[in-house]
Chain A
């Protein structure tokens, strides 16, 4: 399967607004529209509190009150050709939709593995819930396959979560997210808690898996250099709005918005000239 397939959208969000119904109301996401194409990696970048996480959860309708989507529509374009209005799904349909079509890996997900249950049981759970017709033998086979895919020794299926390193656990989470071969994976700072070397290995794994399964990825992080390196498109969020979007090249070489430029300049170049940054201008409180 190749990503060079024609640009066919997998999810479209139009004018999405999300508020926190607290006093006073906080507009976390304001009138955001975006389209994500099949097999594409979209980098969503912004600083803490910009609404990037809220938006991601909105896409998968995982918002919990007091968060409330106040406007806009989200349409998921299924592989089968049917369009699904995500906001109109009832709870039952939503449960079937979620994880099956869209899955998630979030920051610190590795810590949400149950420490006293074996990895096997936790992988099996996904199938038991969403693929009740699967037999144990098939589950075992599929689970081992998944672990192999994400770069974990399949024999670790008998391990408990606490016996695995942080990087390994995060890989197991990715395996779970992959289990049902979703068409979209939302990854919210999936590697922030990990060391750079491990982070890179995992990201590479994600890129590989994308080539195999052709899923699209919304990759959320504040690490703009990393996003630029791996994403096809990048969207920059500020105060609930997407202030700039474009291909990674466009954003990197020709950023239009002042905030994007400021973010870019916040990361001194590793190998480039010893220029602007060197003990230069100071930000005033």
Chain B
């Protein structure tokens, strides 16, 4: 198919997902004012690269994810794929969805409890005709499940989501996001609801798939440590603004913006054992000395 070969060319050249001057205002019900969720955000995500978007809840990270995924309509600004503005509906939007996919935060909410695991992966395969010739849908579903380490795939596919653990579900969600043959992945806090001891496993899985597929990943998180280790670049968001952006080590080890510094200071760090206790005691001692 002609479309396929075009896809091939783009994949080799990598491709870019570009967010340009994105603004999103939410109307407040019953009032005439608006709340600005994101304010003039621009960045470029290249294939094979990971950008981490860090910030606290309400900073606008999720709104960026939703805007990229066309779940909300940006108030201003543009999103471009390979230099072309993306379509807002119809066949154009479908083509866009084949390229850009998302992994949600809550592995319990993002899979329909009514449908078996296989259904969730089969649908995007069918919608985007992403099964290579000479392969049945079932084989492709199994292949995807195996790629996310859900084995034996034949045993997992017919199960319902509630029969899986949180980590397993999140793997299903990742397999689903990869199914159409996506080139870009938005991962919205993909491990924050998982048990700590399995978080790195899921992140490492994402990292491996990213390398294998040369994916561009937008990793949204509030965890600075994984943001640093998992991504090439970090963007720090504060109340809708990107306040700092740069190579991850740079941002973490040599923060420039006040807010980044506050965030870093607030992040738990076992290397500071007892430090807070000592500081508090010192405060009291100083106060006592004054009296």
Contacts and interface: CB of A to CB of B under 8 A. Distances in A.
A and B associate: yes
Contact of B222 (A196, A200, A249, A279): A196
Contact of A200 (B171, B195, B226, B266): B266
Nearest to B207: A279
Contact of A223 (B197, B268, B272): B268
B276 A203 contact: yes
A280 B204 contact: yes
B273 A285 contact: no
Contact-size category for B? 35 or more
B252 A271 contact: yes
B249 interface: yes
B267 A270 contact: yes
Contact of A228 (B230, B263, B273): B273
A252 to B, nearest CB: 5
Interface string B222-240: 1011101110000000000
Contact of B196 (A200, A224, A272, A285): A224
Contact of A283 (B204, B277, B284): B204
A268 B226 contact: yes
Contacts of B199: 266
Contact of B56 (A196, A225, A268, A282): A196
| Consensus secondary structure, chain B interface | helix
Contacts of B211: 279
Contacts of B249: 274
Contacts of B271: 269, 271-272
Contacts of A70: none
B280 A211 contact: yes
Interface of B: 56-57, 148-151, 167-168, 171, 195-202, 204-205, 207-208, 211, 222, 224-226, 228-230, 249, 252-253, 262-277, 280-281, 283-284
25 contacts: A47-B195, A47-B196, A195-B222, A196-B56, A196-B263, A203-B276, A204-B276, A207-B276, A211-B284, A224-B196, A225-B268, A228-B268, A229-B272, A248-B273, A252-B270, A266-B200, A267-B225, A270-B252, A277-B229, A279-B211, A282-B149, A282-B205, A283-B200, A283-B202, A285-B168
